[in-house]
Structure 1
């Protein structure tokens, strides 16, 4: 048997087997990649090369943005920022039927755009909105479905850690361009959820809130401005070249920490716990990137991306069908794999095919992240689904039925984003970030 083919089979079979028996994804990728490398070269060189690849894969200044944005998100989650954003969202959406559901969606979009974490948004906003919705007589399963379905908008609306990972693995696609490209697709996702919530609220007879006075609305907006101003500082600074994404992430940490101290929602004694929480999340992501670097080397040696590309091109040379096949594969993968390892694995496979047909790497990045974001709310692995269910104190089985309409709408928006590149590229082109 050809050495490259043997290594490819070992890699694929070991990953599949380890995932089936319940091994963590990072461990599965690492063990499978090392075993595949041992089949290519001797044992000592395999271990040495694996260690070098892990170091090279994580030795990136750009990657420093991830731990800083994670830390900023944890600080915001503990710093009372979510409540102020919820109050602001309530003023914006209070006149719609099922106003609290729309408030949940808008608040998730706001909080996600500041923290960059779908899980953090689902936990922070869901835990605050749940009791309010229950008090107004909203169905608990409906509440949980709304919260879960809208939380991943923060993975598209910048800052987004997943887009940073895509930038790294795609060969240096502009982070600023990716951030700007995520706005319209992320907002469309939120609007789609609001349309579904509106229809369901009308059917269930949920009412709108009473109109608030201009004075109250202004007070709420002013209270939320310091939190929202973080977006202007970080994203504006990155877009206009004042600082890099990594430097912007550090500024986000300092700003959110100072804001939390001003609000008196975080004390110095809380900092060790906050740092530990963010370290846990960061270590998982960085370890995934490191072991994926070993796997990328093995894949390049065995020419797995080339084999898959040849297979796809043998089936069809129609770019629309190829993109549809990619979407289907990514949607399936997203149901059992977290976005970060999925981006690390499938970007090197699918991106060269897309580029050969003239697909812009920024547009493709939004497509792949949109796909995998849907996976965060689908069983059996969806982290947002589990967190949303836990926050609502409900079983996942009871939430699936009210989630189905949201699935249908988000997949429809995914197809629109896939086949109309200008949706993703309009804002980056406006700022001169892509040509």
Structure 2
């Protein structure tokens, strides 16, 4: 009954249109009142939820990504990607995916990836004979890489939701191979479509032009070196790398590329502060919600429920995947991570699943939800950028959904894809 009151009140508040963060907070207070838990205890948990130094990683990475997204990096990354794959049949779709790989490793945001790369690639692909709905579907699917590869904001949130069990550095390193695997599989599918449908191929870029393009894109690409190189070498922590990446992004955008005007900087900062505020309020209330769940012993109840379904580890993992895929279509990614991680992590830990591995499973599940109706935020952004109806994009996305599910199965049942590199790099 306790769990029904807590979860039921959350669903009712969401149904009445409450913002997710406040719905989580109010339901936490309702649950605490129901079990006679002092409200002061919930408030203490809420304040403790955001009183963490590692949380600085989120605003720094969000700001760095926003600066680079507005500073002309997207076009330079597209040109750089064209050098490697533009000459292949269906090359522009491959350029789209490779550019998303690079941009996701700078922004850490699927929405920023879709908006920036899509605004460049979708019109260009259409001009070269690709259907606009296909170009939009490629853009949206490619952006899912950003939730896996560093500096994924959602990996930072997952690390916090585990209560410090998993480090941000280990998640960043663990996401590299799954992100690259997803990108590679998307490219193979696009090559198949190109051969079947007769999509055009481009021309090779002359060496001198390629060198010029490389040096033009180098300054933006060096952000990836700062983030990954600094963390892996141990020169600085994930939080410190976020701050340095932010300073570097500002320097490159305002003094090297100079595509962004100084008089627009305050608008960008305001937009970033608004985004960060929403995230921080959500993290704070989710901490209170998680505390109430713990007092209700909800994680133990959920663990017993899953283990009663089957004693087979792989069957339970499939059930969890289906659960996450379904919930991911109904809510945004961050609140699901904050609410469900404390519930599901004990289940997977009892099965012998490494928490870092489970983080990658959760990221890809919920990343797929971002491009799935009815509440897929990235899907809506892609439709707006591509100027296509949601229905048209979803039809074009059907093969990509199947591919994402196949990659999810690989990541779920082959732990080494996520865990080999962190073990080799010594971050676990």
* TM-score relative to the length of structure 2: 0.97
| Matching residue of 1:247 | 240
| Matching residue of 1:297 | 291
Q: How does 1:358-397 map to 2 (within 5 A)?
A: 358-397=352-391
Instruction: After TM superposition, give the deviation of residue 184 of structure 1 in Å.
Output: 0.7
| Matching residue of 1:180 | 173
| Matching residue of 1:10 | 5
Asked if structure 2 preserves the Cα contact closer than 8 Å seen for 1:74 and 1:277, the reply is no
Q: Pick one of 247, 250, 253 that aligns with 1:260.
A: 253
Q: Pick one of 68, 73, 86 that aligns with 2:78.
A: 86
- Is 1:342 aligned with 2:356? no
How many residue pairs align between the two structures?
A: 426
Instruction: Give per-residue Cα distances to partners, 1:3-31, cap 9 Å, x unaligned.
Output: xx33x221111111222333222122111
Instruction: After TM superposition, give the deviation of residue 284 of structure 1 in Å.
Output: 1.4
| Matching residue of 1:67 | 59
Instruction: After TM superposition, give the deviation of residue 303 of structure 1 in Å.
Output: 0.9
- Is 1:32 aligned with 2:13? no
Q: Does 390-399 or 22-31 show the bigger shift?
A: 22-31
- Is 1:203 aligned with 2:196? yes
- Is 1:418 aligned with 2:412? yes
Asked if structure 1 preserves the Cα contact closer than 8 Å seen for 2:141 and 2:400, the reply is yes
Partner Cα separation in structure 2 for residue 360 and residue 327 of structure 1:
16
| Matching residue of 1:277 | 271
Instruction: After TM superposition, give the deviation of residue 78 of structure 1 in Å.
Output: 0.8
Instruction: After TM superposition, give the deviation of residue 130 of structure 1 in Å.
Output: 1.8
Partner Cα separation in structure 2 for residue 49 and residue 177 of structure 1:
32
Partner Cα separation in structure 2 for residue 74 and residue 227 of structure 1:
13
Asked if structure 1 preserves the Cα contact closer than 8 Å seen for 2:136 and 2:393, the reply is yes
Instruction: After TM superposition, give the deviation of residue 251 of structure 1 in Å.
Output: 0.6
Asked if structure 1 preserves the Cα contact closer than 8 Å seen for 2:170 and 2:422, the reply is yes
Q: How does 1:121-200 map to 2 (within 5 A)?
A: 121-172=113-164, 173-200=166-193
Asked if structure 1 preserves the Cα contact closer than 8 Å seen for 2:369 and 2:376, the reply is yes
Instruction: After TM superposition, give the deviation of residue 287 of structure 1 in Å.
Output: 1.1
Q: Does 306-315 or 195-204 show the bigger shift?
A: 195-204
Specify the SS of the correspondent of 2:301: helix
- Is 1:19 aligned with 2:14? yes
Asked if structure 1 preserves the Cα contact closer than 8 Å seen for 2:129 and 2:200, the reply is no
Partner Cα separation in structure 2 for residue 56 and residue 96 of structure 1:
53
Partner Cα separation in structure 2 for residue 409 and residue 144 of structure 1:
16
- Is 1:51 aligned with 2:43? yes
Asked if structure 1 preserves the Cα contact closer than 8 Å seen for 2:128 and 2:200, the reply is no
Instruction: After TM superposition, give the deviation of residue 374 of structure 1 in Å.
Output: 0.7
| Matching residue of 2:206 | 213
Asked if structure 2 preserves the Cα contact closer than 8 Å seen for 1:30 and 1:294, the reply is yes
Instruction: After TM superposition, give the deviation of residue 230 of structure 1 in Å.
Output: 1.1
Instruction: After TM superposition, give the deviation of residue 155 of structure 1 in Å.
Output: 1.0
Partner Cα separation in structure 2 for residue 377 and residue 232 of structure 1:
29
Q: Pick one of 225, 235, 238 that aligns with 2:231.
A: 238
Specify the SS of the correspondent of 1:337: coil
Instruction: Give per-residue Cα distances to partners, 1:249-288, cap 9 Å, x unaligned.
Output: 1111100000011111123322211111111211111111
Partner Cα separation in structure 2 for residue 231 and residue 339 of structure 1:
24
Instruction: After TM superposition, give the deviation of residue 49 of structure 1 in Å.
Output: 2.7
Partner Cα separation in structure 2 for residue 19 and residue 275 of structure 1:
29
- Is 1:101 aligned with 2:93? yes
Partner Cα separation in structure 2 for residue 135 and residue 355 of structure 1:
50
Specify the SS of the correspondent of 2:144: helix
Partner Cα separation in structure 2 for residue 369 and residue 136 of structure 1:
34
| Matching residue of 1:313 | 307
Q: Does 325-334 or 224-233 show the bigger shift?
A: 224-233
Partner Cα separation in structure 2 for residue 165 and residue 328 of structure 1:
22
Partner Cα separation in structure 1 for residue 383 and residue 19 of structure 2:
22
Instruction: After TM superposition, give the deviation of residue 325 of structure 1 in Å.
Output: 0.8
Q: Which runs of 5+ in 2 are unaligned?
A: none
Partner Cα separation in structure 2 for residue 432 and residue 238 of structure 1:
11
